[in-house]
């Protein structure tokens, strides 16, 4: 059974997305952190659904940056 606190789709990696995001604190917006999370786990968890989620967050980040420029 998958541990809800440390699920296999993250703990099977050499470096979890959360550890990577925390180690680079300040470098990522909320949207980009979610892109990292979903792209990192897509093969282990929800496949195409996770890639679509990553795409949604990336597009949202792009929209925000376009508003700023």
Total domains, the chain: 1
- Determine, yes or no, domain membership for 41: yes
Packing angle, helices 30-41 and 48-68, rounded to 10: 160
Alpha helices in 8-68 (DSSP H): 8-11, 17-23, 30-41, 48-68
- Determine, yes or no, domain membership for 25: no
Please tell me the predicted confidence (pLDDT) of residue 2. 61
Q: Which two tokens stand for residue 26?
A: 């300040």
- Determine, yes or no, domain membership for 21: no
pLDDT in tens, 12-41: 778 889 899 999 989 999 999 999 999 999
pTM here?
Answer: 0.84
- Determine, yes or no, domain membership for 14: no
Nearest residue to 17 (alpha-carbon basis) of 7, 64, 4: 7
Q: Which domain holds residue 62?
A: 30-69
- Determine, yes or no, domain membership for 58: yes
- Determine, yes or no, domain membership for 49: yes
Alpha-carbon distance 41 to 12, whole Å? Answer: 10
């Amino acid at each position: 059974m998958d541990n809800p606190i440390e699920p296999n789709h993250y703990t099977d990696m050499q470096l979890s997305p959360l550890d990577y995001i925390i180690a680079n604190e300040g470098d990522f917006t909320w949207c980009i952190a979610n892109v990292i999370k979903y792209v990192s786990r897509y093969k282990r968890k929800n496949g195409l659904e996770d890639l679509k989620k990553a795409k949604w967050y990336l597009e949202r980040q792009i929209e925000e940056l376009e508003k700023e420029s």
